[in-house]
Amino acid sequence: MVGKHAIYAFENLDGACAAAILVRWMRIKQFDYKVDFLSYSNVEQEFSQLSEQKQQLIFILDFPPEQVDRLEKKFASVVQNNSKIIYWNTHLKCSQEVHDLLAKNIKFLDFDTTKCSAIMCWQRFMLHDKISQELSAIAFDHEFWVKKDERSAKLADILVSGYNRKELVEELSKGIFWSDKLEKLREEYLVKKEKAFAELINNLQTHYYGKYNFAFGFSSSLLSTADAGSKILENKGIDVSVVIYRDGKISFRRNEQVEINLVEIAKLFNGGGHEFAAGGKISDVTLPIASLDRFKIAVEHVDRLLREKVR
């Protein structure tokens, strides 16, 4: 007898929208469910807790499997408690070896680099549901940087503002895409966001790799990777932004004229993404990166890796 269905979604807007679509589906099926969020910094802790849960069907949304160390061992731990990871989706590329491992252990896989996670959930679980379709469109607008739906940027702000992510998923799952409460929260957040932008730009470091100028920024968790990276690229002469966070998360974003494939750079940090925007996790440095001095040490570490890769 399976207990609660467990949804583990990446902590960004695409993950939240995908989770909201699955919540709608589970309500219709009258399944009990819980929602949790994965990040590059908490994945080991969350998978440890996940493996201890008994009699659960587990859905993993928008998370790159190559960010999970010793994946085969973790599958075995989950099965020991009569639980099963039944569904996994991501739009990030993974190696054939990892894909084959997932295919052997998971019944339903959706890996498609042209679709966001929410679209994959909508098409698999709730194809004829208008609210799910709208959620997938909002997620795609933000994830693929279309920037035609203002709700995607506003909801992305809410996700990094400190608002309870689980509450937001519940609201989205009920078709509440915006409210006076969220508007007030965002107004308060935007004041903090401008301060975080100023601190980001004031501490930039730039390094050339071949003909390209990379700018390194130390970002507050109040800024999403997209916002922080785009803000850095507004500075004239910057080709690629490199954003480093306290928890060791690192993200890359390029301007439109640059032809570097950032996925290849992200692989240096066990990450992935798109050619124009990618990310991963810094290893071999002391975490947390809690000061500008530690940020400089992290930049030196990243610099050594990049000099071997980008010429």
The Cα 243–Cα 245 span in angstroms is 7
Q: In the numeric block, which tokens belong to residue 159?
A: 């996700």
Residue 60 belongs to a domain: yes
Q: Structural domain of residue 18, as residue ranges? A: 5-178
Same domain for 11 and 116, yes or no, is: yes
Q: Tokens 């819980």 label which residue?
A: 34
Number of domains into which the chain is organized: 2
Same domain for 145 and 77, yes or no, is: yes
Same domain for 161 and 227, yes or no, is: no
Helix axis angle, 13-29 relative to 150-160, nearest 10°? 90
pLDDT at 40: 77
Specify the CATH number for the domain of residue 121: 3.40.50
The Cα 294–Cα 300 span in angstroms is 10
Same domain for 82 and 143, yes or no, is: yes
**pLDDT tens-digit readout, 211-255:** 999 999 999 999 999 999 999 999 999 999 999 999 999 999 999
Per-residue pLDDT of the chain (311 residues; tens, 9 = 90+): 456 899 999 999 999 999 999 999 999 999 999 999 998 778 888 888 888 878 889 999 999 898 888 888 888 888 888 789 999 999 988 889 999 999 999 999 999 999 999 999 999 999 999 999 999 999 999 999 898 999 999 999 999 999 999 999 999 999 999 999 999 999 999 999 999 999 999 999 999 999 999 999 999 999 999 999 999 999 999 999 999 999 999 999 999 889 899 989 998 988 888 889 998 889 888 889 999 999 999 999 999 999 987 76
pTM above 0.95, yes or no: no
Same domain for 80 and 37, yes or no, is: yes
pLDDT at 2: 55
Same domain for 274 and 212, yes or no, is: yes
Q: Which neighbouring-strand residues pair with 273? A: 278
pLDDT at 1: 44
Same domain for 17 and 166, yes or no, is: yes
The Cα 61–Cα 194 span in angstroms is 31
Same domain for 27 and 169, yes or no, is: yes
Q: Tell me which amino acid residue 219 is.
A: S
Residue 189 belongs to a domain: no
Same domain for 17 and 77, yes or no, is: yes
The Cα 122–Cα 248 span in angstroms is 32
